[in-house]
Copies of this chain bind each other. A is one copy, B any other.
Amino acid sequence: MSKQIRVGLVGYQFMGKAHSHAYRDASMFFDLPVTPVMQVLCGLGDEELRKAGAQYGWAEVEPDWRRLVERPDIDLIDICTPNFTHAEIAKEAIAHGKHVLCEKPLATSAALSREMLTAAQRAGISHMISHNYRFAPAVQLARQLIASGRLGEIRHIRATYLQDWIVDPNHPMVWRFKKELAGSGALGDLAAHSVDLARFLVGEITEVTGTLKTYIKERPVAGAASPDQRDTVTVDDQAIFLARFENGALGTFEATRLAAGNRNGNRFEINGSNGSVRWDMENMNYLHVFFQDDPVGLQGWRAIQVTEPVHPYAGNWWPAGHIIGYEHTFVHVVVEMLKGIHEGRAPTPNFEDGHRNQLVLEAVEQSDATGSWVKVPNF
């Protein structure tokens, strides 16, 4: 039997649930080199924690993350807490020699993400950031096409991540709307994903110019006695920016939570000298591909359903034509994490990716302040 990797997961809301499920499915659908053991679920709120632990299938629960990271029997700490806590938990976990899988964004500032990266590299542990959208089979296929040169020289990317869950001005205040807790708004929450996809598919971003905007500046306090009790939103509702890439490509980016009709519109189109790809998370099983060298008269965008045995990850699931969903991307994250641990390396994407992502986001924020193009630092 393969070596066991005992997991402690911190946070049991949306991401905690997605990661928990990923460990369950990973062992059923993939031949893993190591065996994940769902040992400890950690989080606040005794009753809810116990309930979540039982429902998600964790052996134990533990309310104190500091006690968790000290446990010698735990190999991997998985961080699914609000953004402002990532750095502290990760650094403590690393200090105790744990491997770390961390939700995005890595931290609320590049200063913090740099510390996390440095610590992780020095400790030699396996570190990973959960940019799950990379792991949609269609995105992996896009990567294969680009990396193999099939699309030629890459010149353009236009990436949008459009949501609409806070169009209603009476959507109550949550931690995501506070700069000190979230770092930023649509920028860190959504554009971070687009930047990761762009780095994965096009390459490093060297320079950006952009702007942020908060349209709805106050929101009702959740559970307040009076509906008039309002609190100030201190993060952006929308972020837009232009980017120059190391390889000469140009990109346009937009992230917003106010684009009515876009529930989860994580999309991109990339154009190269020999072809193009399009992807939309809301129809994530398809990659649309255009080959410039198809015969004249028979050229057209191909809707490739990325569910075939030859496609990345797809063969582990169902026969061709049987689509997978959002949560499967997390299963692939976990598979990559466990492989990284087994092979004694950092998986991809890792803390360096998380930190470089943060550098881009901060450059956008600076650009918003200065009104000029800002170079993305190299470290």
Contact = CB atoms under 8 A, between A and B. Distances in A.
A282 B323 CA distance: 7
Contact of A252 (B21, B254, B265, B307): B254
A39 interface: no
Contacts of A256: 156, 271
B18 A24 contact: no
A304 interface: yes
A302 B304 contact: no
B321 A263 contact: yes
Given A209-B371, A304-B298, A324 B325 contact: yes
Interface string A302-346: 111101101100000111111111111000000000000000000
Interface in A61-96: none
Nearest to A168: B292
A221 interface: no
Contacts of A24: 24, 28
B14 A28 contact: no
A163 interface: yes
Interface residues of A, number: 92
Number of copies: 4
A226 B85 CA distance: 64
A256 B269 CA distance: 13
Interface in A239-288: 240-242, 244, 248, 250-252, 254, 256, 258-265, 269, 271-276, 282-286, 288
Residue among A57, A244, A323 with the highest chain B CB neighbour number at 10 A: A323
B55 A321 contact: no
Contacts of A323: 282-284, 325-326
Interface string A148-178: 0000000110101011110101000000000
A27 interface: yes
A253 to B, nearest CB: 8
A240 B271 CA distance: 14
A273 B57 CA distance: 42
A273 B241 contact: no
Contacts of A258: 155-156, 271, 273
B289 A300 contact: yes
A262 B14 CA distance: 35
Contact of A296 (B264, B283, B310, B317): B310
A302 B292 contact: no
B300 A271 contact: no
B302 A300 contact: yes
A223 interface: no
A263 B292 CA distance: 12
A126 interface: no
B271 A322 contact: no
B27 A264 contact: no
Given A254-B158, A254-B252, A276-B261, A242 B302 contact: no
13 contacts: A18-B318, A155-B238, A167-B273, A215-B248, A238-B250, A252-B252, A260-B275, A265-B321, A282-B285, A286-B300, A317-B327, A324-B326, A372-B372
Q: What 10 pairs between A and B have smallest CB-CB spacing?
A: A263-B321, A264-B321, A261-B290, A300-B302, A300-B304, A325-B325, A322-B326, A324-B325, A297-B310, A259-B271
